Amino acid sequence: MIDPKISAMMRLYNAEIDVYKAEVQNYLDNPVGVGEHGNLIETMDTLVAKIAEAEDKLIVLETHFNE
């Protein structure tokens, strides 16, 4: 059985991934409606990096703490 704290962290990272994916999708669907972001590619790149970081954390948990 997985420790409840590890399980909570896994849910947190999955939720972060969902949030960042939704934000990227919003930029893809509505690039004109996002006026405060002059550089969409840079902003989207930052979001993709956040997805990668959360995925890396999930991999560490699954590799080292998944019983």
- The residue ranges of every structural domain in the chain are 4-64
Model pLDDT, residue 56: 98
Q: Residue 49 has which token pair?
A: 């990096």
Please tell me the pTM assigned to this model. Answer: 0.86
Distance CA 64, CA 56 (A): 12
Q: Residue 58 has which token pair?
A: 């999930």
Model pLDDT, residue 35: 60
pLDDT in tens, 14-57: 999 999 999 999 989 987 766 665 688 888 999 999 999 999 99
